[in-house]
């Protein structure tokens, strides 16, 4: 199979992860895709390919020459932000101008709103029908890795030893939770989980979650004066005390943010849930400290125990683990050039499995897959870019 055929096959599997599930993987269909990947891997000569009890897929490709053992990793799940059920992809030879995704629903991609279209004129774009996401994040990475390996095995020639890993539940932050770093046996690795062609990422956000709980006093509104404490009103006051300019809709590049992700409550109890992000570790810690200071202020005003904050770190910026082994980044940069790309190092405004794995002893920068507009109905990927990513991965494997 070529990379396009593989990709179209994989997006037919509904593998959305579910953060409310306690199982691993969080949804059973991820194992269905994993089992299919194992069958394909064995068919192309990866004899030790297997699916473990937690839904992780592993396999190894012996080298023909001595060299570092390199891991290639992608994730099988898709984001829960938009439906991944019954994906209907189609390929459009894009000639410029507006691109109609769904005429009946009046879903149109216009270059003014989606500037990535301008650099993809003349290419064959795989798009959705506007009712689901596409799943290029990260089934493109899976397809590109397996196509590269199949071609390497068919072509022969020199190659270093490879380790292949496909993870579940990356989109809900659990992809590295049960990854067997020691058993994987790689000296370093790459996640094929990026977007725009040529992007090379070895910096990501430091990340934490914050749960802020509010305790009020419920009194009949007719006799509430100087007695009622409305937990929802406390929550509103807390939120408005956080800097407006540090919301994600006002930030870009290396700028961090705090984002209210969801909330619930009534007069007696209310809860706000946030995510906190920053590339700079000191600024990251300052953002968390602001949450605690704001709660202390409100507790002084309304009484001890009115506001409580629970903070939990999720992952850290892999840069500090990559800087001592920059040869890993240079190898990827040279592979991109050899494949015809112009490499551009960009910070990830998010996280990848590679961030967690880097802190577990497996340095793991992130590579482009060619996809655009991930996690939504305007997602697309150029066939030509996937093919170029396959060439990049093959060059990485060459000594």
Which three-class secondary structure string do you get for 56-93?
CEEEEECCCCCCCCEEEEEECCECCCCCCCCCCCEEEE
Does residue 290 sit in helix, strand or coil? Answer: helix
pLDDT value of residue 173: 87
Alpha carbon distance 169, 192 (integer Å): 15
Enter the tokens of residue 82.
């938009």
Residue 282 structure tokens: 């000191």
Mean pLDDT within 219-244: 94
**3-class DSSP state of 93:** strand
Q: 14, 40, 54, 77: which is the annotated catalytic residue?
A: 77
Architecture in CATH of 3-203+317-397: 3-Layer(aba) Sandwich (3.40)
- CA gap 65, 270 in Å, rounded: 61
Q: Which residues contact 187 (CB under 8 A, 6 or more apart)?
A: 68, 69, 70
Q: Where are the domains of the chain?
A: 3-203+317-397, 206-315
Tens digits of residue pLDDT in 233-245: 999 999 999 999 9
Residue 45 region, left (φ>0) first, then alpha (ψ -120 to 50), else beta? left
Q: Which of 27-41, 203-217, 289-303, 347-361 has the lowest mean pLDDT?
A: 347-361
| Alpha-carbon torsion (279, 280, 281, 285), positive or negative | negative
Q: Is the pLDDT of residue 224 over 90?
A: no
Q: Please, what's the largest Cα pairwise distance for the chain?
A: 84
Q: Is the pLDDT of residue 81 over 90?
A: no
Which H or E run contains 272?
strand 269-278
**pLDDT tier for residue 227 given thresholds of 50, 70 and 90:** confident
Task: Please list, in sequence order, all residues whose beta carbon lies within 8 angstroms of the beta carbon of residue 47, skipping any fewer than 6 positions away.
Answer: none
Is the backbone peptide bond immediately before 138 cis, with ω within 30 degrees of 0? yes
| CATH topology (fold) of 206-315 | Alpha-Beta Plaits (3.30.70)
The pLDDT of residue 352 = 84
pLDDT at 388: 98
Does residue 351 have a pLDDT over 90? no
Mean pLDDT of 53-68: 97
Check pLDDT > 90 for residue 138. Answer: yes
Sign for the pseudo-dihedral over CA of 293, 294, 300, 303 = negative
384 is catalytic: no
pLDDT in tens, 97-120: 999 999 999 999 999 999 999 999
Is 170 among the residues known to form the active site?
A: yes
Task: Report the pLDDT value the prediction gives residue 399, as an integer from 0 to 100.
Answer: 94
Which residue do the tokens 């980044």 mark? 329
Conformational region of residue 96, where left means phi above 0, alpha means psi within -120 to 50, and beta covers everything else: left
Is the distance from CB of 295 to CB of 306 less than 8 angstroms? no
What is the rounded distance in angstroms from the CA atom of residue 269 to the CA atom of residue 86? Answer: 40
| Tokens 């540090």 belong to residue | 246
In what helix (H) or strand (E) does residue 188 lie, and over which residues does it extend? strand 188-192
The number of helices, as runs of H, and strands, as runs of E, in the chain is 10, 17
The predicted pLDDT at position 350 comes to 81
Is it true that the peptide bond before 25 is cis, omega within 30 degrees of 0?
yes
3-state secondary structure 134-201: CCHHHHHHHHHHHHHHHHHHHHCCCCCCEEEEEECCHHHCCCCCCCCHHHHCCCEEEEECCCCCCEEE
CB atoms within 10 A of CB 154: 9
pLDDT at position 105: 92
Q: Given the structure tokens 């093919």, which residue do they identify? A: 387
Quick check: 164 pLDDT over 90?
yes
Regarding beta strands 307-315 and 269-278, do their DSSP bridges make them parallel or antiparallel, or are they unpaired? unpaired
Catalytic-role residue among 150, 170, 193, 379: 170
pLDDT tens column, 118-128:
999 999 999 99
The answer to whether 373 and 135 are in contact (CB under 8 A) is no
Q: In what order do the strands lie in the sheet with 162-167?
A: 50-51, 57-61, 162-167, 70-75, 188-192, 366-367, 199-201, 344-345
Q: Tell me what the pLDDT averaged over the chain comes to.
A: 96
Question: Is-above-0.75 flag for pTM?
Answer: yes
**Cα–Cα distance for residue pair 140/74, rounded to 1 Å:** 9
Which residue reads 């932050």 in tokens? 173
Backbone region of residue 299 per phi and psi (left: phi > 0; alpha: psi in -120 to 50; beta: other values):
alpha
């Amino acid at each position: 199979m070529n990379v396009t055929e593989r990709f179209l096959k994989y997006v037919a599997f509904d593998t959305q992860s579910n953060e409310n599930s306690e199982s691993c993987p969080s949804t059973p269909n991820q194992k269905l895709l994993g089992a299919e990947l194992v069958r394909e891997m064995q068919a192309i000569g990866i004899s030790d390919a297997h699916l473990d009890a937690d839904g992780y897929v592993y396999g190894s490709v012996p080298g023909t020459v001595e060299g570092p053992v390199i891991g290639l990793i992608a994730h099988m799940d898709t984001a829960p932000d938009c439906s991944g059920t019954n994906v209907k992809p189609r390929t459009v030879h894009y000639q410029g101008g507006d691109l109609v995704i769904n005429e009946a629903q009046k879903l149109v991609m216009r270059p003014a709103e989606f500037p990535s279209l301008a650099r993809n004129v003349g290419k064959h774009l795989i798009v959705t029908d506007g009712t689901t996401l596409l799943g290029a994040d990260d089934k493109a990475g899976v397809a590109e890795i397996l196509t590269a390996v199949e071609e390497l095995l068919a072509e022969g020639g020199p190659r270093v030893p490879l380790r292949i890993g496909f993870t579940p539940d990356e989109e809900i932050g659990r992809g590295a939770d049960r990854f067997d770093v020691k058993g994987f046996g790689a000296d370093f690795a790459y996640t094929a989980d990026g977007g725009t062609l040529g992007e090379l990422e070895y910096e990501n956000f430091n990340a934490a979650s914050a749960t802020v709980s509010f305790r009020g006093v419920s009194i009949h509104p007719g006799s509430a004066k100087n007695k009622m404490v409305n937990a929802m009103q406390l929550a509103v006051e807390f939120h408005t005390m956080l800097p407006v300019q540090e919301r994600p809709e006002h930030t870009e590049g290396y700028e961090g943010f705090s984002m209210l992700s969801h909330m619930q409550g009534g007069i007696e109890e209310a809860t706000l849930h946030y995510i906190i992000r920053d590339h700079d570790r000191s600024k990251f810690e300052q953002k968390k400290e602001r949450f605690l200071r704001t709660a202390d202020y409100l507790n002084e005003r309304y009484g001890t125990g009115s506001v409580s904050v629970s903070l939990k770190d999720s992952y850290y910026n892999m840069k500090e683990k990559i800087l001592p082994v920059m040869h890993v980044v240079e190898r990827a940069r040279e592979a991109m050039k050899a494949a015809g790309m112009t490499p551009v190092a960009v910070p990830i405004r998010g996280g990848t499995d590679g961030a967690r794995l880097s802190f577990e002893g497996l340095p793991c920068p992130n590579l482009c897959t060619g996809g655009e507009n991930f996690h939504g109905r305007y997602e697309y990927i150029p066939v030509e870019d996937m093919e170029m990513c396959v060439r990049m991965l093959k060059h990485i494997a060459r000594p």
